[in-house]
């Protein structure tokens, strides 16, 4: 598969990039994408939620009313979940949500995500560029030239230098990711996936193993 290369002025160049069909041209495996995305999101959870059950509530342990003759249900503790201020029944407890996933499944998921983007026309390759100074406006102008200043995008670069990192961090809906640290969630969490020309080879090298 061949794809045209754009420059940072938003114009097509004479260059074309040949994409590896084993990475950008496979039939997307939706289940692998689901599992890898699920693992990524689960690993982000802190799992520190906690609710006080009746054993953690302070209160009298005396029986609050006699067993029979009140005309209402029997009650033995003010800390019962049925009373206001009582403990919570079956409340959440701290836990670890992370789980392991086979490396081959994760690699298949990334290939599937890249193939889906290429198939849907949501993948753009641009020439390598470098920012001479930290200037958000300059980076925003690049996005504007590519008609992506209003879209949610992920920019894939071979290396993130200081100028690029600082110039892009205040722009909403824009993520900059290194090619060797891409995950399936980042590949899909955008309207357009923008790849710098030299990052294509790095991705193919990583996913061709």
**Per-residue pLDDT at 30 exceeds 90:** yes
Q: C-alpha angle with apex 153: 2 to 29, nearest 5 degrees? A: 60
**Does the structural domain 2-45+99-207 have CATH classification 3.40.1370.10?**
yes
**Per-residue pLDDT at 18 exceeds 80:** yes
Note the pTM of the prediction, 2 decimals. 0.83
**Per-residue pLDDT at 29 exceeds 90:** yes
Domain ranges across the chain: 2-45+99-207, 46-96
Query: Span 22-46, mean pLDDT?
Result: 96
| pLDDT at residue 142, rounded to an integer | 94
pLDDT band at 131 (very low <50, low <70, confident <90, very high): very high
pLDDT band at 1 (very low <50, low <70, confident <90, very high): confident
| pLDDT at residue 208, rounded to an integer | 83
- The HSE-up count of residue 132 (CA atoms within 13 Å, CB side) is 0
| pLDDT at residue 61, rounded to an integer | 84
Q: 146: buried, middle or exposed (CB in 10 Å: 19+, 13-18, 0-12)?
A: buried
């Amino acid at each position: 598969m061949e794809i045209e290369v754009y420059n940072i002025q938003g114009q097509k160049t004479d260059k074309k990039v040949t994409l590896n069909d084993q990475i950008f041209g496979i039939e997307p495996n939706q289940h692998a994408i689901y599992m890898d995305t699920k693992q990524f999101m689960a690993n982000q959870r802190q799992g520190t939620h906690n609710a006080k059950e009746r054993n953690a509530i302070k209160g009298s342990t005396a029986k609050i009313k006699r067993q029979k003759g009140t005309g209402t249900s029997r009650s033995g503790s003010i800390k019962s979940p049925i009373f206001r201020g009582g403990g919570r029944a079956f409340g959440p407890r701290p836990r670890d949500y992370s789980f392991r996933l086979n490396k081959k499944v994760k690699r298949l998921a990334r290939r599937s995500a890249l193939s889906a983007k290429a198939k849907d026309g949501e993948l753009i390759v641009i020439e390598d560029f470098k920012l001479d100074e930290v200037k958000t406006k300059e980076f925003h102008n690049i996005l504007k030239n590519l008609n992506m200043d209003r879209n949610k995008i992920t920019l894939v670069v071979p290396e993130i230098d200081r100028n690029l990192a600082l110039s892009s961090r205040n722009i909403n809906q824009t993520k900059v990711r290194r090619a060797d640290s891409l995950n399936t969630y980042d590949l899909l969490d955008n309207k357009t996936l923008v790849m710098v020309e030299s990052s294509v080879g790095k991705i193919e090298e990583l996913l061709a193993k």
